[in-house]
Amino acid sequence: MRKNFNEVLKERELREKETSEEKEMSLDSSERVKVLSPGQMVFKRFITNRLAVVGSAILIFMFVFAFIAPIFYPYGQTEIFYKYDNSVVDLAQAKVRNEYTAFYKEGAEGVHSSVRNKLTSTITSIEAAGAEEGTIVSSEGDTYTIEKNNDAIYSLFASDYKEICNVGGTSKVGVYDLVGKAIKYEEDVTEVSGLEQKIASAIKDKKTEVSLGGVTYSIKAGKMKKYDIYATAEGFNYTGAKLGAEFEALVSETGTSGSFEYNGKTYSVKTDKNVTTVSEVAGKNFLAYLTTYAFDAHDESTALDDQFKFAALDAIVNGEGFSVNGESFTVSKEDEEFVVYKAGESEAYAALSTLVIRRATGEDNLELALKEKTREVIEEMDASGERTAKFNWEIAQVDANGEYTYDENGDLVKEEREITITNKNGSYTLTVEQVVYLIDTFARPSKEHIVGTDGDGMDVFARMMYGGRVSLLVAFVVVILETILGVIMGGIAGFFGGWVDNLIMRMVDIFYCIPSMPILIIMGALFDAMKMKPYHRLAWLMVVLGVLGWAGVARLVRGQILSLREQEFMVAAEAIGLRTKRRIFTHLVPNVMPQLIVTATSALGGVIITESTLSFLGLGVKHPLATWGTMINSVSTAEAMKAYTYIWVPVGLLICLTVVAFNFVGDGLRDAFDPKMKR
């Protein structure tokens, strides 16, 4: 074998050392020219690029802001903040009652609705006329009388009737059964004596009509040897003495129902089942008290029943005491209202007043003392003509959850508050300032919340940090994913060429054809339908974005490798007998790297934009996970954008800065990687 070069050269070196000890100094020796390593060179070029340095500084800030700062920030991304607020709350409503309510005598039936509806209007008209009484005629022809007792109590009477006669008309009497030889009478129809024999003989004689007592009965054959019997009254059928033609004319003038006067007496006409009955109004029957008074029990827990109320009203009208359920009460008039005392007790048991005071919720559980105080104040107001008045009162307090607070003895915690009464067209509203515990939504920037809170009462600054985490994470994962996929696919296509290249490039074409937005929108809807957890959703979003994005990288890598593969240095690499693997990784990949880094860095910005867009459209990362996109989305309406600039401006700035910074760094890297760049 030949001698190795190495040995030959070594010998020569030795010989040279012997001959010349002097060291030569050449112009570009390392002692004169500082030689930087390739990494140092790239770094040096990078840091001399001002924009790139600015970009890196922004990015470092963003990373610290998103990944480290939240550790030291006291609030979490989904922490909801509350606030105490003094807000004016409607406590109660007071109103002078002018609706009349009926309290019935024991055992009395309620009146017909047509009467009930007319009660208040009738009383109003009585008051207007200055009369003492009035009448109401029901749709059925019954006459009711109302009499005044005092300003607020009226008595309702029903009329007593004495039947005078009935007039004409055909009605079914009953069914005659030929087998039993008896009439089965209809309800409400009184038996007519001797009718059965008459009908039996009429059927024998095959007659269809019989007359008995001035009434004509017609017989109609039915099924199963049964006969329907109809009665037809003829003319005026008086129960007593006849009253003559003038009376009969008045009856027919009145029609089927109503009342008329004749000969100093009142008569009422009623029609029931084709039979018109004329009755004389003989007297009146007490039914109920009508009143505008409202009953307030002194003790809130006492429920006053109708029996008590009727008895109380009765006592007021008759000026006596009363007893209900074995307990006796007395009534006395104080100022404008009546107060009921239990016998032997000095404290009021209940009070009657035309001024009704109810809670704003409609419940009648305000304490009587407050009601009385309110009445007092309202009287003063009415007297002085003022529209508002104020007084202090102890009000039960509510806690954070809107429930009443109790002290250790189980008593309600009360605090003195100022109650305001406002008169508004005769209805009085009681308002009070109360401490309310609220979710602190859309709080303006303050010491506690540097950029305020959002619509859910979460700290915007904390969400900006956590949102940055998600945005940066998505960007990096997606870009790394698509770069790996793209480099592998593009590398294979470019290096091996032929049908492999063709196949992969057609795949790339297909991926280019896929409209990514519709797919992402459909996916978002699908995830919504599947009710996916926010973090799973995030992971899937990253995978899908990565898979949709690799085609561009693959194309770039393939193009780069195709051109590099034809370069002479690749032939040289083959000529010096390098393995395929080494040829790819030390000759091809480093030459693709710069472009790859530049596109990847620029793509990072793009992915952040895409992610924000998707989140903004509600298709990406979901609430309560914060991302910059969802944060802007939460104030996306025109009004909200105007009102809550302190939310979307900082977030928008963050997005903008990050994307710009990524682009700066990408450009800086491209310039730094290019060894021919002189700058």
Q: Does 675 bind other proteins (CB under 8 A)?
A: yes
With CB under 8 A as the contact rule, the residue among 23, 223, 447, 676 that binds other proteins is 676
CB 591 within 8 A of CB 526: no
**Chain CA centroid to CA 260, Å:** 59
Q: Is there a contact between 646 and 43 (Cβ–Cβ < 8 Å)?
A: no
Among 17, 20, 35, 107, binds other proteins (CB under 8 A): 35
Q: Per-residue b/e over 498-534, b at no fewer than 16 CB within 10 Å?
A: eeebeebbeebeebeeeeeeeebeebbeebeeeeeeb
In sequence order, the 6+-apart residues with CB closer than 8 A to the CB of 131 are none
Give the containing element (helix H, strand E) for 282. Answer: strand 275-291
Q: From the CB of residue 401, how many other CB atoms can be counted at a distance below 10 Å? A: 6
Q: CB under 8 A: which stretch of 9-17, 69-77, 288-296, 436-444 binds other proteins?
A: 9-17
- Cβ closer to other proteins: 224 or 575? 575
Range in contact with other proteins (rule: CB under 8 A) among 189-197, 501-509, 579-587, 603-611: 579-587
Backbone angles phi, psi at 388, to 5 degrees: -130, 150
Binding residues for other proteins, total number by CB under 8 A: 39
- State the Cα–Cα distance between residues 611 and 551, nearest whole angstrom: 18
Closer residue to other proteins (CB): 2 or 223: 2
Query: Of 74 and 498, which has the nearer Cβ to other proteins?
Result: 498
Provide the minimum distance between the beta carbon of 560 and other proteins in the complex, in angstroms, as a whole number.
12
d(C-alpha 651, C-alpha 634), whole Å:
11
Q: Which of 54, 80, 547, 578 binds other proteins (CB under 8 A)?
A: 578
13 contributes a contact to other proteins by CB under 8 A: yes
Nearest-5° Cα angle at 233, 230 to 237 = 145
What CA–CA distance (Å, rounded) separates 634 from 623?
10
Q: Is 10 in the site for other proteins (CB under 8 A)?
A: yes
DSSP designation for 23:
P
| Vertex 330 angle, CA 329 and 333, to 5° | 145
Identify residue 481 by its one-letter amino acid code. L
- One of 197, 427, 586, 636 touching other proteins (CB under 8 A): 586
* 3-state SS, residue 364: coil
Q: Which stretch binds other proteins (CB under 8 A): 414-422, 554-562, 585-593, 626-634?
A: 585-593
Q: Which one, of 140, 132, 154, lies nearest residue 111 by Cα?
A: 140
Question: Is residue 678 close enough to count as binding other proteins by CB under 8 A?
Answer: no
574 binds other proteins (CB under 8 A): yes
Residue 591 binds other proteins, judged by CB under 8 A: yes
- 577 near other proteins (CB under 8 A): yes
What contacts 675, CB < 8 A, 6 or more positions away? 41
- From the list 24-32, 85-93, 315-323, 333-341, the region that binds other proteins by CB under 8 A is 24-32
Should residue 9 be labelled a site residue for other proteins when binding is judged by CB under 8 A?
yes
DSSP structure class, residue 402 = S
The residue among 72 and 499 lying less far from other proteins, judged by its C-beta, is: 499
Q: How far is the CB of 15 from other proteins (least distance, A)?
A: 8
Q: Which of residues 533-572 bind other proteins (CB under 8 A)?
A: 567-569, 571-572
CB of 43 to other proteins, least distance (A): 15
**Options 582, 585, 643, 656; binder of other proteins; rule CB under 8 A:** 582
Smallest gap from Cβ 46 to other proteins, in A, equals 16
CB of 48 to other proteins, least distance (A): 18
Closest by Cα among 494, 667, 469 to 588: 494
Query: Which stretches within 319-356 are classed as H helix?
Result: none
**Distance in Å, CB of 583 to other proteins, minimum:** 10
Residues near other proteins (CB under 8 A): 1-6, 8-10, 12-13, 15, 26, 28-30, 35, 37-38, 567-569, 571-579, 582, 586-587, 590-591, 593, 675-676
